Amino acid sequence: MTPNTQISSDLSSSKPAPVDRAKQLAATLLSQRGEASGAQVARELHQMLCTLDADDRHSFQRYLATEFQPDKAALRAAAERYLADATAEAAAALARAGDPPRQELLRRMNMAPGGTGALIAMRSEITSSLRGEPELRLLDADLKHLFASWFNRGFLELRRIDWQSPAAVLEKLIAYEAVHEIKGWDDLRRRLAPDRRCFAFFHPALPGEPLIFVEVALVQGLATAMPALLARETDEATARAQAARADTAIFYSISSCQDGLRGISFGNFLIKQVVEELKAEFPQLKRFSTLSPVPGFRRWLGQRLANGSDPDAALWPQLDSGEWWNDPAQSEKLRAPLLRLCARYLTRPPSIRIDPVARFHLGNGARLERVNWLGNSAPRGIQESFGIMVNYLYDHDSIEDNHEAFVRDGTIVRSPEVDTLLKAYSTQP
């Protein structure tokens, strides 16, 4: 129900506090019927919101979350009609009655120039408050619901990003890279070299803002470690020759750029469309694989070995002290047990909180292809997974079957090499 607030027809005649003015404008915006007048109020509302400090913005967000609720009497009546006669028409009427006015208000706020970006920023800002203020989850859920429609695949544009792309977009790649830090412009230039590709999804409402981007290396064979992919020494002629000889595309980094769009899936569409783009440009490519982190492995293993009763408990003191990965002899002793334990971690039933990166790729229809020892010995790689990285293989002929098997009953399709690691796990003393 819209707040029962008396709004003067001439808002400019009063001088309320900025946050109160914003609330008045929100109520007025919902009451407007004309599109032109609504757009003007939406513009004024966004201008006002830009002047608020953090506390006042929080007050306005709570106002949106708590005041614009469905009309209880209308909802009760619709529910009773549906219970009395469960027709499609009654169900539709019940759905309309349950639709909070807040969603329509947010739609109208989106009419203002920059409205989409402002609403994304609002959702990002309320994230930190959701746990302590459950009422804000209503606003969060409505924003997510609307974004799922506004950012569906039909509105997204795939663009290749290269060294000739606008500097503002290139700067955003450096800022948003979430997997392997881009260490300045020289590093970025290498990642955009002729034997590399970078693609991103954009949306018409945010033309200069990538939503998600993927970095790809064109190589020979299945890459198993990051250093070669991130090396900066290759000159342009060598890079072009490498691209011409490549038989494998390695997706080595996927980064989401807009925190306010969390929970809106773009990555599955991105990878599959990029595969098609690469196949058209490089017909000789035979394999499409990731080289992915295993962000939950160290935490899982630490919890598993914490009580000391596990057969592998003796590993933990060795793993938790010194730079063993820089000592070849010590590293080799840890190699076999860590690889089999990681294979076990990655193939547990999805109902037992599967690794988030694994869930993403397996859910997209990839195959768990290979578990790689010390694929990333950078501090983050050691901290997350003792340096272990994983190849997930996207095989065009089996993607849909793999996806269906994973979704239907949690089947994790894997290679014989991974099966060998699992057998070693099952036969350990």
Which residues belong to the active site?
292, 361
177-212 burial code (b ≥16 CB/10 A, e <16): bebbebeeeeebebbbbbbbbbbbbbbebbeebbbb
Q: What is the dihedral of CA 356, 362, 366, 367, to 10 degrees?
A: 100
Distance from C-alpha of 135 to C-alpha of 120, rounded to nearest angstrom: 18
Judge contact between 97 and 139, C-beta under 8 A: no
| DSSP result, 70-136 | --HHHHHHHHHHHHH---HHHHHHHHHHHS-HHHHHHHHHTTSTTHHHHHHHHHHHHGGGTTT-TTH
* Burial class for 269, CB neighbours closer than 10 Å (0-12, 13-18, 19+): middle
Contacts of 406 (CB under 8 A, 6+ apart): 350, 362, 363, 365, 412, 413
The maximal CA–CA distance of the chain, rounded, in angstroms, is 82
What is the Cα–Cα distance from 41 to 55, expressed in whole angstroms? 23
Tokens 């609504």 found at? 38
Q: Are 257 and 151 in contact (CB under 8 A)?
A: no
Cβ-Cβ contacts under 8 Å for 424 (sequence gap 6 or more): 336, 340
Side-chain-side CA neighbours of 174 within 13 Å: the count stands at 14
Rounded Cα distance between 242 and 219, Å, is 7
Sheet holding 287-290, edge to edge: 157-160, 196-202, 212-219, 248-256, 287-290, 389-393, 367-372
Dihedral sign of CA atoms 204, 206, 207, 212 in order: negative
**Unique residue bearing structure tokens 């990655």:** 346
d(CA 97, CA 66) in angstroms, rounded, equals 17
